[in-house]
Amino acid sequence: MALFLQGCTFAQQYASSLLHGKSQSSTRALKLGVLSTARINSAAVIHPAETHPDVELYGIASRDAQTAKNAATKYGFSKSYGSYQELLDDPLISMVYISLPNSLHFEWSKKALIAGKHVLCEKPFTSNAEEARELFRVAEERRLVVEEAFHWQFHPAAHLFRNILESNKYDRIIRTDAWMTSTPAIPSGDIRWQYDLGGGSLMDECYALSFTRYALHNERPKQILSAAARPSKDDGRVDAAMHALLLFEDDNGNPITSRIYTDLSRSRLGGVLPRVWELPSIEVETDAAIIYFYNAMMPHIYHYISITDKRTGITEYKTQSSGGPIWGDRWTTGGKGGKSYWSTYRWQLEAFMERVRDKEPICWVPSEDTVIHMECIDEIYKKAGMPIRGDPMEVVKDEKVRMAQKMEQTETSGRSEKT
């Protein structure tokens, strides 16, 4: 559903921009730089920044100067840069948003921190847990903000979901089931299929793991009970799909089993029609109820939280687009409780800017939670018999393969010339 949801959120953000216009920047607005001209930028940071008075869309960078210039003209950036480092060297930029391929998150986030910039980095935060720990170390050392962009956790619907689970009305949690799939399937050649770029379904669709850990207060699993991957046809190190079963425990030591399912290539129904009933979601079963959060990933497009009481058989439905348990009494740049048309990305930007301003944001993804999240991904890959991303041994192996291929091509070319 990734491509389908992306299309929906692009349309929603574009319509919101037209209907609600742009906010006038405040005199204290901070300059934002964007590393890459990735398609996600418009929904993830550009349109959200348009309605945040403390953010100025200042610079955008690409490896190609003309590409960067075109993006700057299209979206109203003041400057463009023909390299990522050139943007980081600009002393006027206070913060950067990084939407580069997964394998480049660590390198450029670290360079941005060293250059004195606050960082909002797309998920997955890094290639592995070791890299995540290093980024937070550098950020703490330099007293800078670095945040993984798990935008859905900032939305009021997510807070309502957790509030329902915490209410004790439905007793203890006994199991969870979370999923994220892609229909149409991610096309071949996409970076999500490339191991060297941090590809794989668990990496790209780690929202399913995020939903699960959020519902369970971001706990560390006691054990990865099982993990089975369906390898990509082109590279056995890349998971086209991943099934994992995790064991958690509640505060009283009671077991909670959690299933995670990710899939980049759901090809049924001809692989063309989106399976809208499979929007990224999570189901939580308690002793007394089944609680289902439909489209937890992008609730600003559409969502509902259904609660089926096992004791009565009655199902009730809830939604939350602004205010709610956390934002309800909070004054934001959009007024008290925020705006109902804000996307998950806009709510995220609200919190990010509070932290950058050295305030205490009302909700946040703590560094320790991000590290545990990456540790879980590493352990699931190991359990499935697959290499973790950024594994030095795999890098060496790749280099040897490339060298062998190059030598073979040279020899073949030489034989042809002699013939």
Mean pLDDT, the chain cut into blocks of 10 residues (419 residues total):
58 61 78 97 96 97 98 97 98 98 98 98 98 98 98 98 96 98 89 97 98 95 98 97 98 96 78 70 98 97 97 98 97 96 98 97 96 98 97 57 51 46
Please list the residues that pair with 228 across neighbouring strands: 243
Count CB neighbours of 256 within 10 A: 22
- Amino acid making up residue 111: K
Strands (E), 141-222: 146-148, 173-181
Per the CB < 8 A criterion, the answer to whether 259 and 174 are in contact is: no
Is the pTM higher than 0.85? yes
Q: Is 291 helix (H, G, I), strand (E, B) or coil?
A: strand
Q: Which residues pair with 307 in a beta bridge?
A: 291, 316
* Residue-level pLDDT at 415: 46
300: nearest Cα among 337, 340, 353: 340
Q: What pLDDT sits at residue 412? A: 46
**Other Cβ atoms closer than 10 A to 220:** 17
- pLDDT for 26: 76
Angle between helices 105-114 and 129-142 in degrees, nearest 10 = 10
Classify domain 152-332+366-383 at the CATH superfamily level. Answer: Dihydrodipicolinate Reductase; domain 2 (3.30.360.10)
- Residues with a known catalytic role: 123
CATH 3.40.50.720 occupies which residues in the chain?
2-151
Q: pLDDT at position 24, please?
A: 67
DSSP lists the bridge partners of residue 34 as 60, 97
Which pLDDT value is given to residue 278?
81
Q: Domain 2-151 maps to which CATH number in 3.40.50.720, 3.40.50.2300, 3.40.228.10, 3.40.640.10? A: 3.40.50.720
The ranges of the chain annotated as CATH 3.30.360.10 are 152-332+366-383
